[in-house]
Every structure is written in C-alpha cells, then in structure tokens.
Structure 1
Amino acid sequence: MRFEEFLSNSSNVVVPKFGIRWQPFDDSLTLRATWGEGFHEPSLFELFSSPTQFFSDVHDPVKDTETTEIPTILRSNPNLQPEDSRSFSGGFVYTPRFVIGLTITVDLFDIESEGRVNNAPDIQRVVNRAAAGNRHRTNM
C-alpha cells in the first residue's frame, strides 16, 4: 500500500498493490500474480503551459507528391483530472531439471486506465487514415 498526499490539491489517495508467488511442487515451477491500482496527477506543464505553435510537414497520400505544412497548436488544460489505472499480471517460471540451463517464462498482463492524458496525435497518421480508400493513381 502506498499513500500519496498532494499539497496543491485534495487528491490524497491510497494506491494498493498485492502480489503472490507460489511454488506448488519444488523450485522448478513458480507461479506468480500481481494486482494493483495506479494514480497519476497531471503535470504542471499539462495543466498550465503556454500554447506552443509549430508547423508539421504532412505528405498528401492521395496526390502522392505534395508536402504541406499544417499549423499546429498545443495547449495545456487546467481542468485535467488525475489518471486512474488498474493492472493485473500473472505468469509462471519453469526450470526443468532434465535440461541444464533452460528456463521457460510466460507472463501475461492487462492494464486499464481512465482519464489518461495523451499527447497530440501524429498528424501524418490522421491524414493517412482519412485518405485510406480514397487513394487512386492518375498516371497509370
């Protein structure tokens, strides 16, 4: 368990994490699992930074030759809320005694989050997805 106290606001939280490790037969097989919660406050930059403007070069996938500069503005958001997450991981480690030096490890994990702050999307990726299905060649 972890307690986080934030002096700048009232978002004090307890962040739990539990784990288990079990060797059902001997030390050749180990089963393990963890479950936990996460908490992340927005940074001062994400909350209060000045707007930033720049130009992004974007290739037009339909015309296939032109590159355009797109004006882009990144802004902060003083209304951002904290990010919450839950995670689970589980797996096993198997070290067979009959093969010297061999260890097999399998791990699975799942992380779910709410209120996650993402950076601005890659403009080229947005343009490519918008143009998907509209691409044609005029000089065949």
Structure 2
Amino acid sequence: MLLCEFAKRYALKPPLELGQICSSKVIGEYMSAKLALRKQEVLWGVYLDTKNQILAQEEIFVGTLNEATVHPREILKLALKYSAARFIVVHNHPSGQVTPSPNDIALTRRLQACGELLGIALLDHIIVGEHTYLSMREEKILIR
C-alpha cells in the first residue's frame, strides 16, 4: 500500500531536467514527492547557473532518523565543481513536520556566509515533510 502511494506521487512529478529554469516552488514540490517516504534525513544540493537553470542535483548527505551531519565545505565543493552561480539546499524531516530547527537555521546562515565568500548565492533552503515543504526564503528566515 505504501509503495503504491509512493509510486503514484513520484509518477505525478516530472523530473527536474538539466537546463530547466527553477524556483523554490518547483523544487519544493518535486523534492517533497521525492523525499516523502525517506526514513532518515537526507540533504540534496541543486546547483543553478545565472539564469536559475539546473546544472546538477545531488544527494550529498544521508543522516539518521532525526539529523544529518552536514558540512558546508561539501556542498560548496560541488557548487565549484559544477561552476554554479547559485544553489538551493533541500532536506527532509522524516517526522513530516517542516518547522526549521535551530540547527537548520544555523546551517542556512553558515551556507549563506560561505557562499558569499565564494561568490555563489544561496537562493533557498527548503525543508520537505509529508505532503508539504517550507522555503526559508519565503518565510524570511533567509534574507539577502
């Protein structure tokens, strides 16, 4: 039953294509369906060019039921590898709740500061839960 629900959800969302122009809404909806049934926290990076076209997307960290140890170095190393001008990070909360934890907010601020040093803008940090997502940019937690 659970597998059928996952298959239906995943089939409804077209894949994020290389070169596709993306927004937080597009990525949030896609990743919400993609990560909805994961039982441990995972973090993805979506790397964009100056026109917000997707250059690459990668699963970077896999954690436990309630946390993933994340290092900005690894996220930004991939941004440099793909010559990204911008990036968005996405992670899930297996609990289904999308409220950012203090660690989520601290990571967002560290990523933003590190990205600024390298000239690579953090556009958003999206948290996905069951049937929903939260954009830290839209919630004004991440401010330019």
TM-score calculated relative to the size of structure 1: 0.22
- The structure carrying a bigger strand percent of its residues is 1
Q: TM-score, normalised by structure 2?
A: 0.21
Bigger helix fraction: 2
